[in-house]
Structure 1
Amino acid sequence: MISLQPDSATPLVRQVFDALAALIDKGSLRPGTRLPSVRGLAREQGISTMTVTHAYQRLVAEAYVEARRGSGYYVATPTKAQPRHRPFVGRTQVDSLWLIQRVFEDDSALLNAGCGWLPPDWLHLEGVRQALASLARKSASGLAHYGTAHGYLPLRQQIQTQLAARGVQASPHQLVLTHGATQALALLGRCLLQPRDTVLVDSPGATNFFAALRAMDLRLIGVERRLDGPDVQALATLAQRHRPKAFFTTTTLHNPTGSQCSPAVAAQVLKLAEQHDFHVVENEVMAGLEPPGAVNLAAMAPLGRVSYVGSFSKTITPSLRVGFAAVSEELAEKLVYQKMLGSLTSSELNEKLVYTVLVDGHFRSHLARLGERLAQAQRQVCDGLEAAGMELFTRPQGGPFVWAGLGRDGVDVQAVAQRAVAEGLMLAPGNLFRPDLKPTPWLRFNVAYAHDARLYRFLSQEVKRASRPPTR
C-alpha cells in the first residue's frame, strides 16, 4: 500500500502519515475504506505498532480518518467545516514571536527543518512507557504528593552521579529540580540579576531565552560565537566596558551553531569571569549526547562562580519537562524560594518517571543509538546543504543543529523564510537567534528533519537568488 524509507531522516511517523494522506487526497483511498489494522501495517512495513498508532492518530486529528470503536480506522468523508491542512501560509509574519510560538509545534503540513525538538520515534518513549507501567503497579499514595521543594531526592542523587562522571561535583542539596531547563534558567536570572542589569549571552543563541531575559527588564549584549566557543577577546572587551553581572553560555553542541568550546577557550572564560566578577551560567541541555573530549565549565571551576543547567528533553522526552540547576548551596536556597513562589514544587510524578528511566538498563544503549543516529543525520544534512550551495559554520560532531548561511551579507533571510512557508517549509532565520536581531545570512537547521529533497531544491534556488547582483 505504501513505501517507506527507513534510512531517511524524515521520521517514520511522518512518512506513514504523508503516504496515507496522499492516497486519500488522490482518491486512491475513498471515504469509508477501512485502513489496515495497526498490527497489520506494522508487520507489513517492519515498523513498530507505536509508529503506526501515532500516524493513525495524526490522520484522525487532521480529519483524514475516523476511528470506530472496536472496528478500526476508516477514511473520513471530508467536509468544508473540517479543513485537512493547516499550513502557515498567507499573511504569516516570520518573526521572533512567530518562532517562539511555532518552534515546538509539530504540524504535519510543514517540513519543520528549523525546529528545536527531536522526532518522537528518536526519543526513549518505550522507556517512558515501561516507567509508567512500573509506577502504576506501586502504591497509589506515592502519586498524591506535591513533592519536595528541591525535587525528588533519588533523582537528584542520580543526577549527582551523572555529573560526577563529567567532572562536576555537586551534592544533592546543590541540585534543584525544575520544570524543564527553561524554568531553571529563569530562576537563575531572577536570583542573580536585578532589572536593568547587563547580562552577556551567546550570539547567536537561544531566541526564547533572550525573550525571557528581556521580560525581566535586563540589558542583553551578545558575545560572538566562534568555532571554538565564545570570542574571548570580545568577551574581555565587553566585560571591561559593561561590567556584566552574568554570562549565559553553552559549551557543548551549542544551539544553534552545533559548535564546541575548546579547553583553552573555556579556561579563558573562567579567568575573565574571576577577573571581572561575573557569574557564568552553563546551559547544557544536550548533556549525554556530547562527543568525546567535551569540556564543562562547571568541571573546571567550583559551583559558585559557575552554575550548571541540564535537562532530559533531548534524551528522554520533552513532554515530562524535567530540568535541573546545579549551584552553590547558598544559591540553591534562593532558587528554591523563587521556585516555590512561582510554581510551588515541580512534578514529583514526572521526576519519578525520569528517575525510573535513568536507572533502567536500557537508557545507556538508547543514548548510544541516538548519538549514532544524530551523527548519521549530521553527515547527510551537511552534505545536502553544501550540495545546495549553503555555507556551513562547522560540521558538528553531534546534536541536532547545523548553522548554515546563504553566503553573502545583505540577504534577507526573513524573506527567505517567508517564501519557504509558502512552499510548506518551516525555516529558522538566523537574525532571530541574535540578541540584537541584526540581519544575518545564516539559518538554523535540525538534522532530524532537514534531510529532504524539497528543502535542498528550495535552498539551491535561494542561493542562486542571493548570488545575483543587487538591482539598482
Structure 2
Amino acid sequence: MLIKTASQSLTEQLSARFAERIRSRLLAPGARLPSVRMCAGQQGVSVSTVVAAYDQLQAQGLVVARRNRGFFVRDSSSNTPLAPAGKAQTAIKNIVNGPVDAAALIRGMFHPTSSKPQPGMGVFPPDWLDTSFMPAAVRKVTSASALRAFSLQYGEPLGDAGLRRSLSQKLGALNVHAAPGQIITTVGATHALDIVSRTLLRAGDCVMVEEPGWAVEFARLDALGMRILPVPRRADGPDLAVMAQYCQLHAPKLFVSVSVFHNPTGCCITPGSAHRVLQLAHQHNFHIVEDDTYSHLAPEHATRLCALDGLQRTIYVSGFAKILAPGWRVGFMAAPPDLVERLLTTKLLATLSTPALLEQALAWCIDQGQLRRHAERIRSRLDQARGRSVQLALAHGCTFAAEPAGLFGWVETGVDTDALAQRMLDEDYLIAPGALFHAVRKPSTLMRINFATTQDAAFWKVFVRLRDALR
C-alpha cells in the first residue's frame, strides 16, 4: 500500500511506481494498465489519485489513453503484427519482430526485486553455485609468470587450446564429435548465438524459432532485423508441419532450437522428430543452431540434433554460466569445419579474443572432475526442489502444461499472467508471464517458474491471494 509522506503525495508515488516499471520494461510496450477503479482498489487509494497519476504518466510520454479502452504503455516501435488466420497459417502469417521487454528478466538477475526467492529468474540461486574448487582453479592458473602472460598478450583466437581439448572430450560423451579445431570459445552461450546470427544472416532474413521460446532470443534476433517465424513447440519437438510450410513459403536461413530441457516447457526432442527436422534442413538448405544451455542438467543419452547430424548443418552452442560461474561468462560453439573460419572472423571483429585466464581455470575444473561432481550435486538438489515445487503448485490450484522436468515448470494459472505479474511486483515477486515466451505477444494464462526458487510456501500463498482477486 502507498503511504502519504511530507515529501511525496500518493499521486506522485503511484506515478513513480508505474514509471519505473515502464522504464525497466517490467511493463511492456503496449501493455494495458489496470483500470482506474481496479488500480484504486489494488493500491488502497482514491479513484481521483489514480486518474491524476495516469495523467502524469501521459504527460511524461510513457502511456497513451485510448477512448473507452483505458491506458496503455506507449509503444515506440513501428512494427505491426500481421493479422492471424488459421492454425498453421497463424504461425506463418505472424512474421513479426519479437518483444522488446525480455530485458526485464535480465535486469532482474542484476537488480533483484527483493531478497525473496524470485520465481521468474532463469538461474540457480547463488548459494547453489558456491564452491571451493573454483577459487582453487583460479589460483592454480595464476602464478606470477602466467598472470603476466595473460595480461600482456591476447589469448588464442579460437580460445584456449587446453579448454578446447577438454570440451572436445566432453562433447564426445554426448556423441557430438568435434575436433578441438571445430570449437570456438565465446563470452557465454548468448555471445555464441549472436556470432552465428551475425555470420549466417543478414537483416530481413527469416529465422525459425520455437514458440513458446526464450524471450531474450526473440529480442536479440529482432534487434538484428531478422524476420521471426514462430514454430509451435510440442512435447516431442517442433511442429514439423508448420516448419515444412515455412520452408516452402519463406526459405528460412536458420532454425534455433533448445532441443533438450526446452525453455520454458522442459520438454526434450524425440529421435523421430529430430530426424525429420534434419531432413528438412538438408532438403531446404538451412542451418540449425542447437542451444544446449541445460546440458549439465540432462542425461548424456538425451537426443541431440548435433549428434544425429554429425555437425554437418548443425552448430552446437553451450556454456557454463547456468551451472558453474555466471560471472565468468565462458561459452563455446562447435561448428562444421567449413564454417569455422567465418565464425571466427565474426568473433574477432567483436571481441578480439576471450579471457584465457578463466578458460584455463575452467579447463582445470573439467579435467579434475570437479565440474562433473558439482553438476551431479546440482542435479540431485534440483530433483528434490522440483518435487517440492510441483507439490506446492498443485496444492495451490495450478496444473502443468508440460511434464515437469529440468529447471523450469510451465504452469497453468487460470488468469492473465501479465496482470498477475504486476500485482506480484507489488509484493516484491518477479514472475515470468507466458506472454514473454511468444514471438507475437498475446495474453496468456501460463507462467514459467524456476523450480529452485519456488519451494517457499510464502510465495504460493501470495500467488493464490492475488490470483483469486483477479478471478
TM-score by length of structure 2 reads 0.76
Instruction: Provide the alpha-carbon RMSD of the alignment.
Output: 1.9
Equivalents in 2 of 1:278, 1:465: separation in Å? 48
Residues 55-81 of structure 1 deviation map (CA, whole Å, 9 limit, x = unaligned): xxxxxxxxxxxxxxxxxxxxxxxxx9x
Tell me the equivalent position of 1:188.
196
Residues 264 and 333 of structure 1, relative CA distance in 2, 3 Å threshold: same
Contact 1:390 1:463 in 2 (8 A): no
SS at match of 1:288: helix
| AA partner of residue 197 (structure 1) | D
- Counterparts of residues 346-385 of structure 1 (less than 5 Å): 346-385=354-393
The alpha-carbon deviation at position 172 of structure 1 amounts to 1.1
Contact 1:413 1:441 in 2 (8 A): yes
Residues 351-377 of structure 1 deviation map (CA, whole Å, 9 limit, x = unaligned): 112111111233322111111111111
SS at match of 2:109: coil
Residues 111 and 371 of structure 1, relative CA distance in 2, 3 Å threshold: closer
Task: Work out which of the residue numbers 443, 447, 451 in structure 2 matches 1:447.
Answer: 451
Task: Work out which of the residue numbers 288, 294, 298 in structure 2 matches 1:280.
Answer: 288
Equivalents in 2 of 1:424, 1:89: separation in Å? 13
1:387 correspondence with 2:395: yes
Contact 1:125 1:317 in 2 (8 A): no
The alpha-carbon deviation at position 166 of structure 1 amounts to 0.6
Equivalents in 2 of 1:162, 1:169: separation in Å? 9
Question: What are structure 1's unaligned runs of at least 5 residues?
Answer: 1-79, 81-87
Task: Work out which of the residue numbers 219, 226, 230 in structure 1 matches 2:234.
Answer: 226
What number of residue pairs does the alignment pair up? 377
Task: Work out which of the residue numbers 399, 420, 423 in structure 2 matches 1:416.
Answer: 420
Contact 1:199 1:246 in 2 (8 A): yes
Contact 2:163 2:362 in 1 (8 A): yes
Tell me the equivalent position of 1:458.
462
The alpha-carbon deviation at position 250 of structure 1 amounts to 0.8
Equivalents in 1 of 2:350, 2:371: separation in Å? 32
1:116 correspondence with 2:90: no
SS at match of 1:445: strand
SS at match of 1:320: coil
| AA partner of residue 313 (structure 2) | R
- Counterparts of residues 302-381 of structure 1 (less than 5 Å): 302-381=310-389
Task: Work out which of the residue numbers 433, 438, 441 in structure 1 matches 2:442.
Answer: 438
The alpha-carbon deviation at position 170 of structure 1 amounts to 0.7
Contact 1:281 1:308 in 2 (8 A): yes
Equivalents in 2 of 1:192, 1:302: separation in Å? 19
The alpha-carbon deviation at position 393 of structure 1 amounts to 1.9
Task: Work out which of the residue numbers 131, 135, 138 in structure 2 matches 1:132.
Answer: 138
Equivalents in 2 of 1:393, 1:156: separation in Å? 39
Question: Could you tell which deviates more after superposition, 302-311 or 109-118?
Answer: 109-118
The alpha-carbon deviation at position 156 of structure 1 amounts to 0.4
- Counterparts of residues 12-51 of structure 1 (less than 5 Å): none
The alpha-carbon deviation at position 264 of structure 1 amounts to 1.3
Contact 1:200 1:244 in 2 (8 A): yes
Task: Work out which of the residue numbers 412, 429, 436 in structure 1 matches 2:433.
Answer: 429
Equivalents in 2 of 1:343, 1:266: separation in Å? 33
The alpha-carbon deviation at position 150 of structure 1 amounts to 0.3
Residues 104 and 339 of structure 1, relative CA distance in 2, 3 Å threshold: same
- Counterparts of residues 394-405 of structure 1 (less than 5 Å): 394-398=402-406, 400-405=407-412
Equivalents in 2 of 1:296, 1:98: separation in Å? 29
Residues 97 and 401 of structure 1, relative CA distance in 2, 3 Å threshold: closer
Residues 387 and 292 of structure 1, relative CA distance in 2, 3 Å threshold: farther
Equivalents in 2 of 1:424, 1:287: separation in Å? 31
Equivalents in 2 of 1:326, 1:97: separation in Å? 27
Tell me the equivalent position of 1:406.
413
Question: Could you tell which deviates more after superposition, 220-229 or 91-100?
Answer: 91-100
The alpha-carbon deviation at position 442 of structure 1 amounts to 1.1
The alpha-carbon deviation at position 221 of structure 1 amounts to 1.3
Task: Work out which of the residue numbers 173, 178, 185 in structure 1 matches 2:186.
Answer: 178
Tell me the equivalent position of 2:158.
150
Equivalents in 1 of 2:401, 2:127: separation in Å? 28
Contact 1:203 1:224 in 2 (8 A): yes
Equivalents in 2 of 1:419, 1:458: separation in Å? 10
Residues 397-430 of structure 1 deviation map (CA, whole Å, 9 limit, x = unaligned): 33x21111223xxx43211100000011110111
Contact 1:111 1:424 in 2 (8 A): no
Residues 144-175 of structure 1 deviation map (CA, whole Å, 9 limit, x = unaligned): 23101100011001000011111111111111
Q: Percent same amino acid among aligned pairs?
A: 35
Contact 2:174 2:300 in 1 (8 A): no
Residues 379-410 of structure 1 deviation map (CA, whole Å, 9 limit, x = unaligned): 11111111111221223333x21111223xxx
